[in-house]
Chains A and B, each alone.
Chain A
Amino acid sequence: MKLSELAFERQDYAYAFLDEFAKRELRRKILKAIAIPGYQVPYASREVPMARGWGTGGLQVSLALVGVNDTVKVIDQGDDDSVNAANLRRFIARMTGVKTTTDTLAASLIQSRHRIPEELLNERQVLVLQVPMPEILSSIEPSYARAREMHSDGDYALLWLGLYEDLVKYREVSYGADYPVLVNGRYVMAPSPIPRFDTPKLHQAAHLTLLSAGREKRLYAVPPYTDVYPLEFEDVPFQIEDQRGWRDASTGAAGKFMSEIPQDGGGSSYQLSDTGLKQKLERQMAGEEIEIGATYFDDDTNFYITGFLKGAS
C-alpha cells in the first residue's frame, strides 16, 4: 500500500478557501457579534480572491460558515444573475462544492449586497449582508478611534441633529439607503446600503443577519428576534420608498421593491428587484406548480408586523 492511497487527493486550495486559523477567528468574532447585537467587532479580514469592496467581508463570513449540506444563494441588488453575485456564487461553489439556488425558500445561507429578499426568512436561514461602510458615524466623525468612543458613550446626538437639519432644510429626511437603526436599544448601526423598504425586515426577524465589511475589518450581527428601530422622531415617522402604483412589467406584482427602468421617450417601467421571486412568479403564471413563500410586505405594501411602520410611504 502506498501513502498516496491512504491520503486524500492533493488539492490546490483548502475547503472553503480560507485556512483553518482564519475560519476559527471569524467564527469566534461572529459569536461575539451575536452576543452584542449591533456592536462592530473588529476582525483581521484576510484577503480573498476578490477585490476589496466587492463583497470580501460577506464572502469571508460565508466561507467561515458554509457547510457541505448548505444551499447557497447570492444576490446583488436583489439579482441572482448580476455579474458580481454570479462571481461570488461561482467561487463559493468552486471552493466547497455546495449546492446553489436562486430560490430564497431553498437557501440556507444567503449572501446579499444591498437587498433583503421579499419572502420571509426563517429561523434556519442565515443572511449575510455585504457592508461597504460599517461605521454609521463616519459621515460625522471620520476617525474610527473617536467614533468607537461615541458608541461606547451612546452619543448619537449628531445623528439626531442630522435628521433635524434635514427636516428644516428639505421637509424630508435625506437618508436614502443605509438608514441608521438602533439595535436592541443600545447600538446605532449601519444596516448596509439596503433600501429603507428593507430596513423593517430586520426588526424581530426570525433569521440571523450577519453584516461584514472586509475592507474596514468589522463585522456585526442582528440575532433572531431582536428589536431594530430606524431613528425617527416620535412625530415624524420613518418612511419607506414611495413606490405606490409601481407594478412589475411582466408579472404585475406590486408592493415589493422595484427597479425603475427609464424608457425611451420619457416615462419608466418597473421590474421586481428580487429576481428569484420574479422568476418563480413567471413560472407560476406559466402554469407550473411552485411554492411561493409569505412575504414581508403584501401587495398593498402593508408590513407583516402591524403598526411597526407608522408613516405612510
Chain B
Amino acid sequence: MSLLEMTLDAPRLLEMQPLLRVNNLCKNYGGIRALENVSLHVYPGEVLGIVGESGSGKSTVLRLLNLEEPETSGTYQLEIPELLGQNLFELNRFQKRETRVHHIGIVYQNPHLGLRMHKSSSGNVAERLILAGEKRFAELRRAARESLQASEFPIARMDEPPIHLSGGMQQRVQLAKAIAMKPKLLLLDEPTTGLDVSVQALVLDTLKRLQFELEMTMILVSHDLGVIRTLADRVMVMRGGRVVESGLTDQVLEDPQHAYTQQLVHAKL
C-alpha cells in the first residue's frame, strides 16, 4: 500500500472494520492461473470499482466472491455477526447457498445468468425470499413489488417474464432480485454494458440512489471508466490476474502511477 493511500484512508480505517476481507486469492483453471494473490478490503457503504481488460480476472473475482466457484487458495470473510471469523470458502454447499441468499446480491452483464427468463419478473424477485423460507404469498407479492419499485421497474409489468422485457428493464429486475433480501454486499458485473447510453445513465442513477439508501457495500466490475468514475469511491486496476494499482478513484484516474493504468486512462480519454 502506498504512503499516499494510507494517509487518505486512515480516518476510515481507524473508525471501522472492513465489511469484506479477501486475502491472497488465487484461482487456476487447469494449468492457467486466472488470479494471482488478489487481496481486497472493502468498507461498509463503500463502492469499490474493479477495472481491467477482458481476461484480466475481474469477473472471476466476482464469481468467487459470490461463492459460485471454488477458489484455488485464499480466504474470504464478511463482517456479519453470524459469519464472524469464518472463511466463507470453507462453508459447505448448503451454507454457501444460505450466505448468498441472505447477504450477497449480484447483477450480471448477461441477464440470462441472473434471471429465469420465462418466469414472471416478480417471481424472479420472490424466489430470493422463498429461498430464505418465506411461506406467505402476500408477503412475497409485497416484497417483490417493493424491490421492483425501488429499482424503478414499471410495476404494471411486474408479472411479465423478463424474456419479453428490454435490456434495461431486465437489469432492473436483476437489481430488484439482488436487493430483495437487503444484502450487505452487492456485486455488479458490467451492469450497464450493452445498454443505450440514456438507459445506462438512468440505471446508474438508480444504483447510486439505492447504494445510498440501503447503505450497501458494492463491488463494481466494469471496463468503462465513465461508469467507475460515476459510482466508485475507490478503484482497483487488474491485469493478467493481478492487481497492478489501487487507490481513490479520482486519484487513480487523474494521476495513474502504473504504466498499464496510464494506458487505460489515456485510451479512454
* Interface, chain A (partner B; CB < 8 A): 153, 155, 157, 160-161, 164-165, 167-169, 233-236
Q: How far is the CA of A153 from the CA of B100 in the complex (A)?
A: 15
The digit string for B96-139, where 1 denotes a CB below 8 A from any CB of A, is 01000000000000000000100110110011001100011110
User: B136, A161: Cβ atoms under 8 Å?
Assistant: no
User: A161, B135: Cβ atoms under 8 Å?
Assistant: no
Per DSSP, chain B at the interface is helix
The distance from the CB of A271 to the nearest CB of chain B, in whole angstroms, is 36
Closest to A163 in B: B137
Residues of chain B within 8 A of A236, CB atoms compared: 137
Closest to A165 in B: B123
Given A153-B97, A157-B131, A164-B126, check contact A233 B120 (CB 8 Å). Answer: no
5 residue pairs bridging A and B, Cβ less than 8 Å apart = A155-B97, A157-B127, A164-B137, A168-B122, A233-B135
Given A233-B136, A234-B135, A236-B137, check contact A153 B94 (CB 8 Å). Answer: yes
At the interface, yes or no: B93 with Cβ under 8 Å from chain A?
yes
The distance from the CB of A260 to the nearest CB of chain B, in whole angstroms, is 30
At the interface, yes or no: B180 with Cβ under 8 Å from chain A?
no
At the interface, yes or no: B140 with Cβ under 8 Å from chain A?
yes
Closest to A159 in B: B130
Residues of chain A within 8 A of B138, CB atoms compared: 235
Per DSSP, chain A at the interface is helix
User: A165, B120: Cβ atoms under 8 Å?
Assistant: yes
Q: How far is the CA of A234 from the CA of B135 in the complex (A)?
A: 6
Residues of chain A within 8 A of B130, CB atoms compared: 157, 160-161, 164
Which of B116, B126, B137 sits near A235, CB closer than 8 Å?
A: B137
Q: Which of B129-165 contact A (CB under 8 A)?
A: 130-131, 135-138, 140, 159
Q: How far is the CA of A235 from the CA of B142 in the complex (A)?
A: 13
The distance from the CB of A151 to the nearest CB of chain B, in whole angstroms, is 12
Q: How far is the CA of A153 from the CA of B127 in the complex (A)?
A: 16
Closest to B137 in A: A233
The distance from the CB of A89 to the nearest CB of chain B, in whole angstroms, is 42
Q: How far is the CA of A168 from the CA of B140 in the complex (A)?
A: 11
Residues of chain B within 8 A of A165, CB atoms compared: 119-120, 123
Q: How far is the CA of A161 from the CA of B127 in the complex (A)?
A: 6
Closest 6 CB pairs of A and B: A233-B137, A160-B130, A236-B137, A157-B131, A157-B130, A234-B136
Query: Interface residues of B, CB < 8 Å — how many?
Result: 18
Which of A161, A233, A235 sits near B123, CB closer than 8 Å?
A: A161
The distance from the CB of B237 to the nearest CB of chain A, in whole angstroms, is 38
Residues of chain B within 8 A of A161, CB atoms compared: 116, 119, 123, 126-127, 130
Q: How far is the CA of A165 from the CA of B120 in the complex (A)?
A: 7
Residues of chain A within 8 A of B93, CB atoms compared: 153
Closest to B131 in A: A157
Residues of chain B within 8 A of A167, CB atoms compared: 137
Q: How far is the CA of A165 from the CA of B93 in the complex (A)?
A: 27
Residues of chain B within 8 A of A155, CB atoms compared: 97
Which of A153, A157, A235 sits near B136, CB closer than 8 Å?
A: A235
Residues of chain B within 8 A of A164, CB atoms compared: 120, 123, 126, 130, 137, 140
Q: How far is the CA of A167 from the CA of B141 in the complex (A)?
A: 11
Closest to B126 in A: A164
Residues of chain A within 8 A of B123, CB atoms compared: 161, 164-165, 168
The distance from the CB of A153 to the nearest CB of chain B, in whole angstroms, is 5
Q: How far is the CA of A168 from the CA of B144 in the complex (A)?
A: 12
Closest to A149 in B: B93
Q: How far is the CA of A234 from the CA of B119 in the complex (A)?
A: 22
The distance from the CB of A93 to the nearest CB of chain B, in whole angstroms, is 47
Closest to B128 in A: A157
Q: How far is the CA of A234 from the CA of B140 in the complex (A)?
A: 11
Q: How far is the CA of A160 from the CA of B132 in the complex (A)?
A: 12
Residues of chain A within 8 A of B136, CB atoms compared: 233-235
Residues of chain A within 8 A of B137, CB atoms compared: 164, 167, 233-236
Residues of chain A within 8 A of B94, CB atoms compared: 153
Most chain B beta-carbon contacts within 10 A, residue among A153, A155, A157, A236? A157
Closest to A156 in B: B130
Q: How far is the CA of A160 from the CA of B131 in the complex (A)?
A: 9
Residues of chain B within 8 A of A169, CB atoms compared: 120, 159
Q: How far is the CA of A168 from the CA of B137 in the complex (A)?
A: 10
Q: How far is the CA of A285 from the CA of B117 in the complex (A)?
A: 59
Residues of chain A within 8 A of B119, CB atoms compared: 161, 165
The distance from the CB of A234 to the nearest CB of chain B, in whole angstroms, is 5
Q: How far is the CA of A165 from the CA of B119 in the complex (A)?
A: 7
Closest to B138 in A: A235
Q: How far is the CA of A244 from the CA of B94 in the complex (A)?
A: 45
Given A161-B119, A233-B135, A233-B137, check contact A168 B159 (CB 8 Å). Answer: yes
The distance from the CB of B110 to the nearest CB of chain A, in whole angstroms, is 21
The distance from the CB of B194 to the nearest CB of chain A, in whole angstroms, is 27
Q: How far is the CA of A165 from the CA of B135 in the complex (A)?
A: 14
The digit string for B78-97, where 1 denotes a CB below 8 A from any CB of A, is 00000000000000011001
The distance from the CB of A90 to the nearest CB of chain B, in whole angstroms, is 47
Most chain B beta-carbon contacts within 10 A, residue among A153, A164, A235? A164
Closest to B94 in A: A153
Q: Which of B223-258 contact A (CB under 8 A)?
A: none
Q: How far is the CA of A155 from the CA of B97 in the complex (A)?
A: 10
